[in-house]
């Protein structure tokens, strides 16, 4: 990742609540592992968790600090689905593949929920999706298709109900996902970090990737102070990163 190495604590709700540990030492020297994960956000940390449970060796390094994108890239909302609704995805790839993708998202949703439940972290249930224009018929059709084709039930709210809830004339009808929830994304990152540390997974902060190259046995990743040799390399950087990602950017 190409973010600045010096981490500046942002004045956000997540950071104000966080119980951060001292910065993990940057990667130095030469190390080997099965899987090298670049980026210690939710994707990278959950991947490390899954790999460890499958007895694969892994390490993570992060250009800034763990969960540095909380309150920025990640707003803390969790529900099954993708940026496009199921019916929209169906139009592109067909119903069978759209169902498979939706079920995959439900697995990810459940993974997050299970970790939070085990740690007894309080979450706020329900996610509301209000419309900025009147579209009752369109919303009802979408909800009907989600129920019929994807087996997922959503709630429809009339305009008056939405205005009462939000106290603003800006929105019209809405749909609500009662299974969705809001959580502290940084707190979850730190919970995952703690669990991974107990399992002996190396985590390096303030470690900037300079370049990566394919080798006969896998990959070699160069950082500002060290080198990682691995069989598999995974980038979990979201929208971050720069020229070090070459054509992948």
Q: Is 168 exposed, middle or buried (0-12, 13-18, 19+ CB in 10 A)?
A: exposed
Domain boundaries of the chain, sorted by first residue: 13-73+194-248, 77-183
Query: Which pLDDT score, from 0 to 100, does residue 126 have?
Result: 96
Query: Which pLDDT score, from 0 to 100, does residue 10 have?
Result: 55
Query: Which pLDDT score, from 0 to 100, does residue 1 have?
Result: 45
Residues present in the chain in total: 249
SS3 212: strand
Q: Provide the whole-model pTM.
A: 0.84
Distance of CA 124 to the CA centre of its chain: 18
pLDDT tens string, the chain, 249 residues long: the values are 444 444 454 566 677 677 777 788 999 999 999 999 999 999 999 999 999 999 999 999 999 989 887 765 677 899 999 988 788 899 999 999 999 999 999 999 999 999 998 888 889 999 999 999 999 999 999 999 999 999 999 999 999 999 999 989 999 999 999 999 999 888 899 999 999 999 999 999 999 999 999 999 999 999 999 999 999 999 998 777 777 776 666
Q: At what angle do helices 136-150 and 95-118 cross, to 10 degrees?
A: 90
Query: Which pLDDT score, from 0 to 100, does residue 72 have?
Result: 56
- Strand 203-204 and strand 58-61: the pairing is parallel
- Whether 59 and 204 have beta carbons less than 8 Å apart is answered as yes
CATH topology classification for 13-73+194-248: FAD/NAD(P)-binding domain (3.50.50)
């Amino acid at each position: 990742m190409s973010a600045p190495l010096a981490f500046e604590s942002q004045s956000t709700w997540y950071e104000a609540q966080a119980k951060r540990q001292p910065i993990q030492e940057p990667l130095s020297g030469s190390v080997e592992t099965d899987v090298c994960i670049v980026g210690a956000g939710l994707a990278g940390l959950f991947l490390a968790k899954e790999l460890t449970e499958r007895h694969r060796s892994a390490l993570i390094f992060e250009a800034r600090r763990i969960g540095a994108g909380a309150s920025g890239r990640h707003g803390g909302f969790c529900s099954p689905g993708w940026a496009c609704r199921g019916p929209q995805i169906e139009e592109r790839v067909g119903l069978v593949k759209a169902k498979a993708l939706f079920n995959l998202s439900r697995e990810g949703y459940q993974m997050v929920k299970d970790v939070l439940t085990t740690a007894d972290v309080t979450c706020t249930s329900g996610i509301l999706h209000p419309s900025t224009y009147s579209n009752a018929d369109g919303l009802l059709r979408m909800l009907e298709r989600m129920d019929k084709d994807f087996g997922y039930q959503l709630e429809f709210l009339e305009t008056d109900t939405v205005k009462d809830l939000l106290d603003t004339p800006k929105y019209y009808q809405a749909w609500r996902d009662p299974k969705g929830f809001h959580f502290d994304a940084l707190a979850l990152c730190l919970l995952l970090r703690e669990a991974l540390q107990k399992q002996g997974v190396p985590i390096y902060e303030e470690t900037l990737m300079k370049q990566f190259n394919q080798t006969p046995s896998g990959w070699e990743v160069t950082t500002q102070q060290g080198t990682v040799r691995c069989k598999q390399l995974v980038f979990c950087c979201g929208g971050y990163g720069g020229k070090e990602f070459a054509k992948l950017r």
